[in-house]
Chains A and B, each alone.
Chain A
Amino acid sequence: MLRVTLANLRAHSGRMVTTALAIVLGVMFVTGTLVFSDTLDDALGAQVKGSAEEYSAIVHTERTTEEKQPELPRQTLDDIESLPEVGSAAGVVHGDAPLIGQEGQAVGSMSTAGLSASEDTRHSTMAEGELPTGPDEAALATSSADVTGFGVGDEVTVLDAEGREHTFTVTGLLDLGVDPELSYRGAVAFTEDTAHAMTGIDGYSEIDVTGAPGYTDSEVRDAVAEVTPGDAEVLTGAELGARLAESAGAETELITTGLMLAGAVSVIVAGIVISNTFAILLAQRQREMALLRCVGAGRGQVLRGVLFEAGLVGLVSSAVGVLAGIGVGYTGVVLGADALGVGDSAASLVVGPAAIAVGLVAGTGATVVAALVPAVRAARIPPLAALRDSAAQGAERGTSTVRVVLGAVLGLASAGIATWAVRSLEDEPALIAVVAAGVVAFAGVVALGPLLVRALVAVARGPMRELGVVSGLAADNSGRSPKRAATAMIALTVGATLITGYSVISDSAEETLTNKLDEQFPVDYEISGQMSPHGFMAEVDPEVSRELAENPDVARVVRVRSSGAELEGPSVSAYFGGEVGTEVSAPVASGDLADLEPGSVVVHEDDAEGNEAGDEIAVETAEGEETFEIAAVTEGNTGLLGVTMDPDDFREHFPDVTQDQSVSIQGTEDVPADELRDTVMAAVADHPRLQVTSAVQMRQEFTEILDTLLLVVTAMLALSVLIAVAGVANTMALSVLERARESAMLRALGLTRGQVRRMLGVEAVVLSLIGTGVGIALGVVFGWAAGVALLDGLILSIPVPRIAGFLTAAVLAGLLASVLPGRRAARTSITRSLASE
């Protein structure tokens, strides 16, 4: 049998090319992802470790975003320095230092961090230039330089703790690696004295210690721990390095997980393609199988022979895929080095045994599993089949009743789960249920596949016959092996469903959120204070809104005041200058927003404790708990959250809140955009820490984020589509071989080469349109369901142009898939095909 198997592989190696390609691509993705993440983790790890490992011990205080960071007093540094185990020690000051951007306002919604940096501190890697040495010098984090456009030699303005402006010359750009807090906020680094002065912080958040000669790092650590206050943690450099490397790995986990999921989809699609190829090849070799049985091969031998063949093809292709994956993964890290925060440090390739093993096992396993059903079927061929005339390929006969029943049951089950998810569940469980419903529906499509193909082709046949003989023949051919066509189709459907589903979610989310913004809070600009990680929020001086309200360009100014985070219960807000229910709005679960008046409140359903409009509710105020009547209960994630009070009530119950949390500005109908912008910028000119956000800009940023995500998701799933297209090409190529005589006859009857090619092209287009169409239908339904599960009050938006794009892509993919089979069919000599058999 082994010899027969090998001889077969040699003889049919051409027919295995697409199968092999499908495996290679799938495995390439999987191994590529693993190599990518291993290499990236290693590079990031090396980078963060490198900065920590130089030190014998590092003392740091626990960082929390809630509270202001506890400080290590100067005394602690002195104590550490005087230890015999310690060679040298340096403290790191870490506070706020709002950097003023080119526009004149502080950069970012959270203030820029202020650091001290010297040769002796951990953060001292310069991407460019030098560390600051004098009181008028500062270094910028590379992230801050990117955002503001400032560079070495520029003058920058930074606010001190009292809000006074100071000017510094930029001496260099500091590479802070992948520290998540610092890369989000950005940083300005000063000499230690300047850092104390600017941040207003007297102590340190970290002390970096180098041991004296003759002491091990752990000895130094233990000695240092003796003299540090209890709330500080002391680690050796290596320990901190390991911890940082781990958290750097966690940062990349999301990317890796996403890639792995897409990789799994690719492998599944490759499995479907492979299964189809084997089914077709074995059907074509039915005679040969039967002959083997005639000469005495047992069923087991035939089965083993086929599986061995599959295993061999799988193993060889997986090996190629693993090699390709190593290349792709490494290329990914190198090309994405900047974006991924690896910096310029040349990443060294890391190929873990897992990357190789997973690739080989997944590829070979998928191939063998995919070949299992066709192999079992081949083993069942009776020896007598050798004597039968198997060449006449009759139409496939399927047990269609079973399929219909199964399809209907699965379809109903899916509809049930989806309805339940949309009606009664929320958030994550709802999403999981929707995904489950999608999987069940997909199983239904698989069961119904051949019938679906037959039905759709039957519908298309009429109009296609009208179009001419070529498209008529193509329609007939595409419906001729519905099982094959269905499998080829399903491979495509997987990718099409996922891509369409995600597009619908993304488009609907965009539509819903922008629509809600427009409807519930029609503003042109919003002014708010800058946050610091300690929860401190610079509030908006009422002077700013007063000035704006008097400006003729401004139609309305709505000020929001909020209770802040000190209270136990939900945060309480009030809108000054805007009528709740008309100018400030939200989706309502019960009651009427317009009923809000002194003595009543509007509550979001998350904080309503099950109460409805008309019920009473206790609200935590600065003056203690008070009881209010509920005017309305709101829902959704935009609009009115927490508790909303009448402004008079708010003043009474929160007498200490005198500043606005944010101010929304709407211009008059006819004010030019530039003029309104100038007006708003002029109002905040004396308050550099205020952030001005324009609605247009907000929407744009939001849309950009969604579009980028969509692009990334589509790109990751595109490979599975590519594999599926290879599958369609393969199905076509094998059909062409089978129909060689038929094509020869058509050519004899007067079909030109071009017409033969076109016939196959149309057939492939029909197949890929069916696959894509079914995927789009599933994607729209389940994308919508998932969207509803995730976002309350979702406005369904079907991205019609994008879906038209998918259909166009399907047509092109079909044409592409038909190129090689078409060439082959058109080139085949008529007389030779007629002579064979």
Chain B
Amino acid sequence: MSENSPNDPPDGASPAVITRDLTKVFDAGDSEVRALDSVNVGFTRGRFAAIMGPSGSGKSTLMHCLAGLDSATSGSVRVGETEITGLGDKELTLLRRQRIGFIFQSFNLLPVLTARQNILLPAQIAGREVDQERFDHIVDVVGLRDRLDHTPAKLSGGQQQRVAVARALLSSPDVTFADEPTGNLDSRSGAEVLDFLRDSAREMGQTIVMVTHDPVAAAYADRVVFLRDGRLVDELYEPSAESVLDRIGKLEV
């Protein structure tokens, strides 16, 4: 595995999002933190990818830069055909609104809205028509049919994350980012959510990029990339929990 080379997808499809020499430096008072250091990585359409690495390795920062939530210090990020480096806040907001889905670790949902309203929120913000059939399908897939009119306070953590997944997938974004989506869940609920994410890639052709530090979670993905100290250090296709652990073990040394 050659470091810092664009990861060409094995099947030759065009990447949903790709970076070139992506570098992010934080100004932490007197010292500088190089959170990302010349990262070159691409994520294939219709695939489920995981980003792994120890705490502080730059996973969240990478995801934020990929999703247009944060701007790169240097290098570039392309979402589909769009070069997003240098876009202003307005354009980035529109990009997120129209082409990107999000699932966060916690507090994903607006407490004042019902599950249904939360799921429909991005479409409303974007002023998009909602395809009722797709809505029904997704709601059934995540198993929320009878919880639609509940507010988040009345849902379990797993149910809340499933609402977040449904919300992210409803508008079939170009790419969905998930930052430790199972970090706050017990293993059974976590497994459910990960199943949905995998199925949505396999069956609905969604592109999913998930940040995690859990090898079990990573094993659901089609591919895992490893970060350390802001650098892309390794990757693994068709991972299993054991192979991921094994790879982490090697990297630690």
- Report which A residues bind B (CB closer than 8 A): 391-395, 469, 472-473, 476-477, 479-480, 741-742, 745-753, 755, 830-831, 834-835, 837
Q: List 15 A-B contacts (CB under 8 A).
A: A394-B153, A395-B151, A476-B113, A479-B112, A480-B112, A741-B107, A745-B107, A745-B108, A750-B98, A750-B125, A752-B89, A752-B93, A831-B64, A831-B70, A835-B60
> In the bound complex, how far is the Cα of B127 from the Cα of A752, in angstroms?
13
Residues from chain A with a CB closer than 8 A to the CB of B64 are: 830-831, 834
Residues from chain B with a CB closer than 8 A to the CB of A749 are: 96-97, 102, 121-122, 125
Q: Is the CB of A748 within 8 A of B69?
A: yes
Residue of A nearest to B112 (CB): A476
Q: Is the CB of B90 within 8 A of A750?
A: no
> In the bound complex, how far is the Cα of B89 from the Cα of A831, in angstroms?
13
Residue of A nearest to B97 (CB): A750
> In the bound complex, how far is the Cα of B126 from the Cα of A752, in angstroms?
11
B67 within 8 A of A: yes
CB < 8 Å neighbour of A392 from B94, B111, B122 = B111
Contact-residue bracket for chain B: 20 to 34
Contacts A476-B112, A750-B122 known; 7 new A-B pairs at CB < 8 A: A469-B127, A473-B110, A745-B107, A745-B110, A747-B93, A748-B67, A837-B106
Q: Is the CB of B153 within 8 A of A395?
A: yes
CB < 8 Å neighbour of B104 from A395, A479, A755, A834 = A834
Near A by CB (< 8 A), chain B positions 125-164 give 125-127, 151, 153
Residue of A nearest to B90 (CB): A752
> In the bound complex, how far is the Cα of B108 from the Cα of A395, in angstroms?
17
> In the bound complex, how far is the Cα of B122 from the Cα of A746, in angstroms?
9
Q: Is the CB of B125 within 8 A of A751?
A: yes
- Report which B residues bind A (CB closer than 8 A): 60-61, 64, 67, 69-70, 89-90, 93-94, 96-98, 102, 104, 106-108, 110-113, 121-122, 124-127, 151, 153, 179
Q: Is the CB of A831 within 8 A of B69?
A: yes
Q: Is the CB of A392 within 8 A of B93?
A: no
Majority SS at the chain A contact face: helix
Q: Is the CB of A750 within 8 A of B70?
A: no
Residue of B nearest to A469 (CB): B124
B176 nearest CB across to chain A (Å): 12
> In the bound complex, how far is the Cα of B124 from the Cα of A745, in angstroms?
15
Residues from chain A with a CB closer than 8 A to the CB of B90 are: 752
> In the bound complex, how far is the Cα of B184 from the Cα of A391, in angstroms?
14
Residues from chain A with a CB closer than 8 A to the CB of B94 are: 750, 752
B181 nearest CB across to chain A (Å): 13
> In the bound complex, how far is the Cα of B67 from the Cα of A748, in angstroms?
9
> In the bound complex, how far is the Cα of B179 from the Cα of A752, in angstroms?
22
A202 nearest CB across to chain B (Å): 88
Q: Is the CB of B89 within 8 A of A750?
A: no
Residues from chain B with a CB closer than 8 A to the CB of A477 are: 112
CB < 8 Å neighbour of A745 from B102, B112, B127 = B102
> In the bound complex, how far is the Cα of B60 from the Cα of A477, in angstroms?
29
Residue of B nearest to A753 (CB): B89
Residues from chain B with a CB closer than 8 A to the CB of A395 are: 111, 151, 153
Residues from chain B with a CB closer than 8 A to the CB of A750 are: 93-94, 96-98, 122, 125-126
Residues from chain B with a CB closer than 8 A to the CB of A837 are: 106-107
CB < 8 Å neighbour of A748 from B102, B106, B110, B111 = B102
Residues from chain B with a CB closer than 8 A to the CB of A393 are: 111
Q: Is the CB of B93 within 8 A of A751?
A: yes
Residues from chain B with a CB closer than 8 A to the CB of A469 are: 121, 124-125, 127
> In the bound complex, how far is the Cα of B64 from the Cα of A395, in angstroms?
31
Q: Which 8 A-B pairs have the closest CB atoms?
A: A750-B97, A476-B112, A469-B124, A752-B93, A831-B64, A831-B70, A750-B96, A750-B125
B168 nearest CB across to chain A (Å): 9
> In the bound complex, how far is the Cα of B124 from the Cα of A746, in angstroms?
12
Residues from chain B with a CB closer than 8 A to the CB of A741 are: 107
Residue of B nearest to A754 (CB): B90
Residues from chain A with a CB closer than 8 A to the CB of B61 are: 831
A837 nearest CB across to chain B (Å): 8
> In the bound complex, how far is the Cα of B61 from the Cα of A831, in angstroms?
8
Residues from chain A with a CB closer than 8 A to the CB of B179 are: 834
Q: Which of B89, B94, B111 has the most CB of A within 10 A?
A: B111
